[in-house]
A and B are shown apart, each in its own frame.
Chain A
Amino acid sequence: MRRILVSLVFLTSLIYLSGCASNKNLTDTSTGNIPDWYTNIPHDPNYFFATNSQTSRDMQMAVDKATVGARANIARQVQTKLSSLQKRFRQEVGTSDSSQLLSQFTEVTKNVTDETMSGSHVSKQKVLKDKNAFRAYVLVEYPVGAANKALMKQLKQNNHLYTRFKASQAYKQLDKEVKQYDQWKKNQAQQGQPQAQNSNQ
């Protein structure tokens, strides 16, 4: 009985010590801890999503690099969307109408892409130890409606362009998307409660 007990104490101490030792072992990316959302980027017609991963010996720098990279990626997506809208508007207006209008439109879309993004946020993040550095993974999202609203606001500042644009099909599509966004925001407001709680895993 005594021997068994001594063995048990020895084993328990071993487990105890090994548990403590594991505290020092940092998670490595080679162990397959890459987050699922990084490889399977979410898709939603109402949001722009962008993931990014960066390394640095400084943790904050890794997180910052990844976040800035993801936001830059979103800015490129917004640019692509606005370019297609611009293309449609150009097709409708035609070259004979007014080249000045087109240049104004180009100016407007360029401003939106380079301007402020309100409501873009890090929706998921994970930091892992990668050899002697930190690797940060981030997923940034930006509501499409917010980008559309910013564009509409810019357009309204130019009366002449806005009047012409209002008559186009491109406007109808943009207006529809803005209205959908407003409705979505209204629905969110009616739901009342936060979507996520600080629940434990």
Chain B
Amino acid sequence: MQKGLLIFILILLPLNCYSQVYKNWFIHPSQINCSEISVGYAMHSYFKDTTAIKTAFNNACRRFAENEQVRISGGQAFWATGIGTFDMGNNLKETYDTSLVKSYEHTFKIIDTLREGNFVAVLSGNKGCNPQSKVFLKTRIEISKNPNWINNPPESKQYYYAVGIAPRYYYEKSSWEQAEKSARIQLASSISIYVEVLNRMQSFSDEATENSIENQDIAVTLQNVQIVSRWVDKSDDFYYVLMRMRK
């Protein structure tokens, strides 16, 4: 009895807190030695897991088509004043060839699945893809082990890097999708961005106020975008995605 209690304490102490467990392929997809892989997300299905897995597989194919080639266009404008910055509108959009999704559904296979709470993820790749066993190992996301890249995106002469960030939404799938979208837009902004700033000074007796309209436009096509890493900051519940594209 006493021994059992001691073992219980020893196990519980280092854990300290509940931490999420993902598989290596989800956290470090760049470690997979296949040229064509994609991770798809879905919500947990209450009826049958196969439905969720099928949805996640379809999502993986969609995601692969999007990362192969996506056109990011549009812009956003803000009005910066002394009392704050206000959103003036945003018409950013992503366009990709959706007809490719069906063809990937035929050429891709499900390699592994992951279920964590109400979230389901599927690793899929081309039929010849056989990743090493280490990518199927589980990784525990722990507080105080945040990777450096979440605040300091890597710099390289070979790749453009971008970090996307999203808060925790009710469905984890939405958080990962938002983080990916944010990373893609940042990646496009790094490649080319049109910046327009209109400054306006106003003077009333001795007081001068300044406000400006800041506008940015993007029209960039991203090709062969890769997700290098994913991370969840457990202390703040923020979701991060590190993305890259060859220069």
Contacts and interface: CB of A to CB of B under 8 A. Distances in A.
A63 interface: yes
B193 A12 contact: no
A9 B165 contact: no
Contacts of B156: 193-196
A35 B18 CA distance: 28
A194 B154 contact: yes
A200 to B, nearest CB: 5
Q: Say what secondary structure dominates the interface of chain B.
A: mixed
Given A12-B12, A22-B235, A198-B229, A76 B197 contact: yes
Given A23-B143, A27-B235, A54-B85, A198 B12 contact: no
A15 interface: yes
A23 B19 CA distance: 10
A8 B9 contact: yes
Given A115-B194, A117-B195, A125-B165, A16 B16 contact: yes
Contacts of B160: 121
B182 A72 contact: no
Nearest to A24: B237
Q: Bin chain B's interface residue count.
A: 35 or more
A114 B199 CA distance: 13
B147 to A, nearest CB: 5
Interface residues of A, number: 63
Contacts of A8: 5, 9
B78 A15 contact: no
Interface string A177-189: 0000000000011
Interface in A114-156: 114-129, 134
B235 A9 contact: no
Contact of B190 (A9, A12, A119, A126): A119
Given A64-B78, A71-B216, 15 more contacts: A9-B8, A19-B17, A20-B17, A59-B165, A69-B214, A75-B197, A114-B194, A117-B193, A117-B194, A123-B155, A134-B167, A188-B157, A192-B157, A196-B148, A198-B148
23 contacts: A13-B12, A19-B17, A20-B17, A20-B18, A23-B237, A59-B167, A64-B78, A64-B90, A65-B78, A65-B85, A67-B186, A71-B189, A116-B195, A119-B190, A129-B236, A134-B167, A188-B157, A194-B159, A195-B154, A196-B148, A196-B152, A198-B154, A199-B148
Closest 6 CB pairs of A and B: A194-B156, A19-B17, A196-B154, A121-B190, A72-B214, A19-B16
Interface of A: 1-2, 5, 8-9, 12-13, 15-16, 19-20, 22-27, 35, 54, 59-61, 63-65, 67-69, 71-72, 74-76, 114-129, 134, 188-189, 191-201
Interface of B: 2, 5-6, 8-9, 12-13, 15-18, 76, 78, 80, 85, 87, 90, 143, 145-149, 151-160, 162-163, 165-167, 178, 182, 186, 189-197, 199, 212, 214, 216, 228-229, 234-238, 242
